[in-house]
Chain A
Amino acid sequence: MNITTFIIVSVIKTVLALFVLLTAVAYTVWLERKVVGHMQNRWGPTRVGPFGLLQPLADGVKFLFKEDLTPPHVYKPLYIAAPMIAVVFALTSIAVIPVGNWVTLGGLRIPLQITDVNIGLLIILGVTSLGVYGVALAGWSSNSKYSLLGGLRASAQMISYEISLGLSLVGVLILAGSFSLREIVNAQGGTFWGFIPRWNIFYGGQFIAFFIYLMSAYAETNRIPFDLPEAETELVAGYHTEYSAMKFAMFFMAEYANMITVAAVASLLFLGGWHGPVFGPPLVRALLPVFWFVLRIFGFLFVYIWVRGTLPRFRYDQLMAFGWKFLLPLAIANLVITALVVAIRA
């Protein structure tokens, strides 16, 4: 593949991935409103389009045309930069997430991934850890007590839970022996005892790690039951209290894009990525793995919404105690046991 084809293919893949991701973000909001609505015995959006399917579009148009207020007391440069930081880092991590195997198109063998790097997982961790700045700076630059408290809570919470999140992934890394997401998924192919898939959640005892990851991920994305940074009853809306129109929408997009990233990483690392039954003609054969992968992400998003419709919010001291005194020791124990088992087997 020469440099021109490479650039063209990369640009097409990037545009396609961004389009799909942004559409997915919009429709995750729709899904959430619909599912939570039904859980609470309401209909959710029904007016715009069949089943309210055009609601995300209407919302987008509304956000674009709303008056963009800038309160007079804010620190302007950072106030404007904060939502951009949040959304840019939230959308960046899609670049290293593989969605399926290779496709052969017109003699070109193209991986279904924007770029395959051998430290893919580390890049995702790095990019998501930079996303904290968006929230923290939004809280600070708004120059309002609710925003500041929201920003402080968010940064404390995200730093605390990042540790158990990172440690829960190390067990999987020890089993796969690689940081490359593609290799981690490939290591999970096949079955053992004839019928159980060799996904990390079953094989290698990463069951506990999976739940540590899941809980830390909820805290990382500021979702119920860990949505302290935007607790309405205490902080109005938390770090984005002073934001309106498209700037507010950017925080919204960042939150949902982060949810999708977290779901994608969980599927890749614990649930075997795109592995699943593959059959039919070549085109279906190439696209079925993508379908299985998307199905897993959808499942995760559904659980996210389900949890939101079920659980109340934690108290702040409970949140910190849970993260530091329960999840972190559990993650370390899981890591030590996994390392021991791998060392004994080797």
Chain B
Amino acid sequence: MLHLILFLAFGAVCVAGAVNLLAQRHPINSALSLVVVMGSLAVVYLLLGAEFVAAVQVIVYAGAIMVLFVFVIMLLNAGEEERTKGSKVALLFGVPGMLVGSILIGWVLLARGGGRSVPVGALPGTPKVIGWLLFHDFLLPFEVTSILVLIAIMGAVVLASHPDTEQGKKEG
């Protein structure tokens, strides 16, 4: 009962945050709405018993990545955005497409899942289990992903450095 109430409350907060993210005109408000979405998602993970994933969600997404978003918005001092009429294509195909998509997902889950829902705490949630999965069962995908991230970092460094300019030469 308590779980259901918490799930509904934080699910509602999550959706409200997502809608607010789109509705706000100032980038910093949108970024903060995204923080709210991340935070309420963490609570939903917690309700599923995935406590480690919940903590990582808060530390990595809400605490590090979104701080960098806010940092960049502050650094660029981005102002309010102009409200445009929006594209007709998005309105014509986007809204019906989204509706069809969500109905499809709901139908598949209800029909194929046989109405079964995941009981609370059914997912592997403790750090030990997650660590075992990551470094034993899924070691190769995990390491490949790490290398992918490393390549992305190196790409960012290459893009950010200006070897031709005076300052770039000084920094080497």
Whether A159 and B55, one on each chain, are in contact in the complex, defined by CB atoms closer than 8 angstroms, is no
- Cβ A130 vs Cβ B51 within 8 A: no
CB distance from B54 to the nearest CB of A (A): 8
Q: Judge whether A159 and B28 touch: CB under 8 Å.
A: no
Residue of B28, B63, B71, B127 touching A129 (CB-CB under 8 A): B63
Q: Secondary structure of the A side of the interface?
A: helix
Question: Known: A117-B51, A119-B55, A139-B74. Contact between A155 and B67, CB under 8 A?
Answer: yes
Q: Which 9 A-B pairs have the closest CB atoms?
A: A129-B63, A122-B55, A126-B58, A126-B59, A140-B74, A155-B71, A119-B55, A119-B51, A132-B67
A101-130 interface with B by 8 A CB criterion: 117-119, 122-123, 125-127, 129-130
- Count of chain B residues with a beta carbon within 8 Å of a chain A beta carbon: 22
For B62, what are the chain A residues with a Cβ–Cβ distance below 8 Å?
126, 129-130
CB of B30, distance to nearest CB on chain A (Å): 13
Which residues of A lie under 8 Å from residue B32 when comparing CB positions?
Answer: 78, 133, 137
User: A225 contacts the other chain (Cβ, under 8 Å)?
Assistant: no
**CA of A127 to CA of B68, assembled, Å:** 16
Judge if B70 is at the interface, Cβ distance under 8 Å.
yes
Determine if B161 is an interface residue (Cβ-Cβ < 8 Å).
no
B residues near A (Cβ < 8 Å) are 28, 32, 35, 51-52, 55-56, 58-59, 62-64, 67-68, 70-71, 73-75, 77, 126-127
Interfacial chain B residues near A148, Cβ < 8 Å: 74, 77
Q: B interface, by DSSP: helix, strand, loop or mixed?
A: helix
Contact A119/B63 with A136-B74, A140-B74, A148-B74 known, Cβ cut-off 8 Å: no
Taken together as a complex, chains A and B put the C-alpha atoms of A114 and B59 apart, in Å, by 22
User: Which range contains the number of A residues in contact with the other chain?
Assistant: 20 to 34
Instruction: Give the residue name and chain of the B residue nearest to A120 (CB).
Output: B55
Whether B35 contacts A152 by the Cβ 8 Å rule is no
A220 within 8 A of B: no
B58 to chain A: closest residue by CB: A126
- Total A-B pairs, Cβ < 8 A: 69
Candidates A126, A137, A140; contact of B63 at CB < 8 Å:
A126
Residue A156 interfacial (CB < 8 Å): yes
Q: A78 and B64: CB pair below 8 A? A: no
The verdict on A162 contacting chain B, using a C-beta distance below 8 Å, is: yes
Q: Kindly list chain B residues whose C-beta atoms are within 8 Å of the C-beta of A132.
A: 63, 67
Provide the residues of chain A in CB contact with B55, threshold 8 Å. 119, 122-123, 125-126
Contact in complex: A118, B126 (CB < 8 Å): yes
Residue of A at shortest CB range from B39?
Answer: A130
CA distance A158 to B70 in the complex (A): 14
The one of A127, A133, A159 that contacts B35, using a Cβ cutoff of 8 Å: A133
A122 to chain B, nearest CB (A): 4
Kindly provide the distance from the CB of A208 to the nearest chain B CB, expressed in whole angstroms. 23
Given A133-B35, A155-B67, A159-B68, A122–B74 Cβ distance below 8 Å?
no
Cβ of A179 under 8 Å from chain B? yes
Residues 154-173 of chain A: 1 if any B CB is under 8 Å from the residue's CB, otherwise 0? Answer: 01101100100000000000
Cβ of A151 under 8 Å from chain B:
yes
Query: Measured between C-beta atoms, what is the minimum distance from A130 to chain B in Å?
Result: 5
